[in-house]
Amino acid sequence: MDFLGYEGKRVLVCGCYSGMGEATARQLLALGAEVHGLDFKESALDLASFNLVDLRDPASIDAAVAAIGGKVDALFNCAGLPQTAPPMDVMKVNYAGTRHLTDRVLEHMGEGGAIASISSNGGMGWSRKLDVLMPLIAIEKYDDIVKWCEDNPDIVNEGYSLSKEAVIVWTMRASADLIKRGIRINCTLPGPTQTPMMHEFESATDMAVLNAFIQPINRRSTPDEQAAPLIYLNSDAASYVNGLAMPIDGGFMGGMVTGQVDISALMPAQ
Ligand SMILES: NC(=O)c1ccc[n+]([C@@H]2O[C@H](COP(=O)([O-])OP(=O)(O)OC[C@H]3O[C@@H](n4cnc5c(N)ncnc54)[C@H](O)[C@@H]3O)[C@@H](O)[C@H]2O)c1
């Protein structure tokens, strides 16, 4: 039985050059999907098509989606930048560009379509910041989102947390509209994962803090362990799953909420 239903599906993976996006594209190829890749670095995978795209440049997004053309069954938003990149680049890639790409792809998506984006455990503070996030996600156009960010550098801060919170709240809000068209949208909140980006997190974050985020499982995930839940979310098997922000963190969130993982105790004194 083709439980996930990817055989012959036309799927688009943005961020397929490395890490979780590469693992996602590779697993989708193995599942028999027609995989179209996007990234600003050339992919080595044997894809149905690959288009260079820079999520900081909406024109490149428009051109790439037009070049793929035709119906798209599923979109995987896997590209991202860490907090070591300039804050405006982080906001453009992780949120504004990802959202612009999604809007363009939605023009090619019909009933049964699905979108899955990678947010982060770094965005887990979203529920305490709805007063800021709701006005931000109400802004629809790429240039207007960028202008809001330029006008609010104190809120943007290093960019990473806000971009990931915005992906979560945008996913939740969009899910209510899109499901009326038979399209689902979800996101994942990965914990620390051994990808090329991890090197950047290690350079910017105290090791004790990074290690706090791998409790209680006590190891980092692999890119494949992050790809599989994304693939599930966009599959036929998840037909009633919509608007979900799914932690893929080895139990960190559950342990924290129930007081079994005390991150303040695990973090060094300030
Ligand atoms: N690694 C972790 O511990 C971790 C944890 C939580 C969330 N995440 C998120 O997971 C996602 C995937 O990251 P990863 O860990 O696989 O790292 P990665 O660096 O391997 O992958 C990021 C991908 O995004 C692409 N990219 C970067 N800037 C781009 C741009 N301007 N235009 C188009 N593509 C661009 C890169 O080329 C790369 O293929 C990111 O959104 C990241 O924030 C990572």
Domains along the chain with CATH numbers:
10-191+222-249 (3.40.50.720)
Burial class of 139 by CB neighbour count within 10 A (0 to 12, 13 to 18, 19+): middle
Torsional class of 235: left (φ above 0), alpha (ψ -120 to 50), beta (otherwise): beta
Q: Which atom of ligand 1 is nearest to the CA of 41?
A: 37
Is 78 a residue whose pLDDT tops 60? yes
> In the predicted model, is pLDDT for residue 267 greater than 70?
no
* Closest C-alpha among 263, 258, 167, 177 to residue 213: 263
Residues assigned a catalytic role = 160
Nearest CA to ligand 1 atom 40: 80
Could you tell me the distance, in angstroms and rounded to a whole number, from the CA of residue 59 to the centre of ligand 1? 21
162-196: pLDDT as tens digits: 999 999 999 999 999 999 999 999 999 999 999 99
Q: With cut-offs at 50, 70 and 90, classify the pLDDT of residue 269.
A: low
Please choose from 51, 53, 101, 197 the residue to mutate so as to test ligand 1's pocket, defined by most ligand atoms within 8 A of CB: 197
Tokens, residue 148: 């809001």
Residue 145 has pLDDT above 70, yes or no: yes
Q: What is the rounded average pLDDT of the residues 225-235?
A: 98
Q: What is the pLDDT of residues 27-51, one digit of tens each?
A: 999 999 999 999 999 999 999 999 9
Residue 265, pLDDT > 70, answer no
CB of 20 sitting under 6 A from ligand 1 = yes
The alpha carbon of 214 and the centre of ligand 1 are apart by a number of angstroms equal to 19
- For residue 147, pLDDT over 60 is answered with yes
Nearest CA owner, ligand 1 atom 26 = 79
* C-alpha distance from residue 216 to each of 47, 148, 190, 246, 269 (Å): 37, 38, 14, 17, 21
Is 79 touching ligand 1 by the criterion CB < 6 Å? Answer: yes
Determine which residue's CA is closest to atom 14 belonging to ligand 1. 19
Q: Quick one: which of 210, 218, 193, 202 has its CA closest to 263?
A: 210
| Dihedral angle sign, alpha carbons of residues 65, 71, 76, 77 | positive
Cα 197 to ligand 1 centre (Å): 6
